[in-house]
Amino acid sequence: MNSITQFQSSQYSKRVVIYARVSTEKQTLENQLSELREVASRNNWQIVDEYLEKVSGAKSRSERKEFDRLMKDSIRGRFDLIMAWDVSRLGRSLKNLVEFIEDIHEKNIDLYLHVNGIDTSTSSGRAMFAMIGVFSQFEREIIKERINSGLARAKAEGKKLGRPTNFNSGMAQSVRLLREQGMPIKQIAKNLEIGVGTVYKALDKAA
């Protein structure tokens, strides 16, 4: 790094990036961008990149190209903080958000959420996300308890559950029960050690 670059970098307190997303092509990113750029300027943060996309938050990471690029650049250590409009821009669920936070914090990257008033580089922001982590764990335990209760009830009613060697009514019942408890398709496949296609087959038969 030459002396000019060093001088320019020293003018800013943090290297930050903006992640902005809307769900459809008809929506605009400008409102998010103007607010976040203003916050960066006010805090003397240097914006080193912007990750902008028009895609549903329900899409997977592979389908959210800019989000995927953001995560890859986080590994490269290109920035100190990620800015986003609100929590809904980042994850599809509380679980996704907590996993995202844990991932970037392992890399010493903080998160600023404008609407939610959260900056994890501050003590109050870290405390807020500590609480989110507690509630996320509580949510997982509740889902697990419901699944176990449902499986026990189905077994008491004489319904065959478990993982048979071939697709049958017992497999279909297990898949439907887990799905009713809110478990994602891929997680059902992993838990029952079956293919994603088999999960969809069971759900199609139930429709």
Q: Is residue 131 included in any domain, yes or no?
A: no
Identify the pLDDT of residue 2: 46
Domain final position from 121, 152, 184: 121
Catalytic residues: 23
Q: What percent of the chain has pLDDT over 90?
A: 31
| 23/117 same-domain check | yes
Cα–Cα distances (Å) from 60 to 20, 68, 78, 91, 170, in that order, read 16, 10, 23, 10, 30
Identify the pLDDT of residue 199: 83
Higher pLDDT, 11 or 6: 11
Higher pLDDT, 120 or 44: 44
Q: Is residue 86 included in any domain, yes or no?
A: yes
Q: Is residue 110 included in any domain, yes or no?
A: yes
How many degrees, rounded to 5, is the angle at CA 99 between CA 174 and CA 173?
5
Domain final position from 121, 151, 171: 121
Domain final position from 121, 150, 183: 121
Cβ neighbours around 89 below 10 Å, total: 18
Q: How far apart are CA 92 and CA 56, in angstroms?
A: 9
Higher pLDDT, 39 or 164: 39
| 83/149 same-domain check | no
**51: which strand partners?**
19
With a CB cutoff of 8 Å and minimum separation 6, the contacts of 122 are: none
Please state the domain count of the chain: 2
pTM, full prediction:
0.60
Identify the pLDDT of residue 7: 41
pLDDT band for position 123 (50/70/90)? Answer: confident
Identify the pLDDT of residue 140: 58
DSSP 8-state assignment for residue 183: -
| 143/113 same-domain check | no
Average pLDDT for the chain: 79
Closest by CA to 187, choosing from 105, 95, 56, is: 95
Domain range for 12 is 3-121
Q: What is the largest CA-CA distance in the chain?
A: 76
34: domain CATH number?
3.40.50.1390
Higher pLDDT, 23 or 156: 23
Q: How far apart are CA 177 and CA 183, in angstroms?
A: 9
Q: How far apart are CA 81 and CA 20, in angstroms?
A: 14
Q: How far apart are CA 189 and CA 198, in angstroms?
A: 8
Identify the pLDDT of residue 162: 54
Q: Is residue 128 included in any domain, yes or no?
A: no
Identify the pLDDT of residue 181: 73
Element (H, E) at 118: strand 118-119
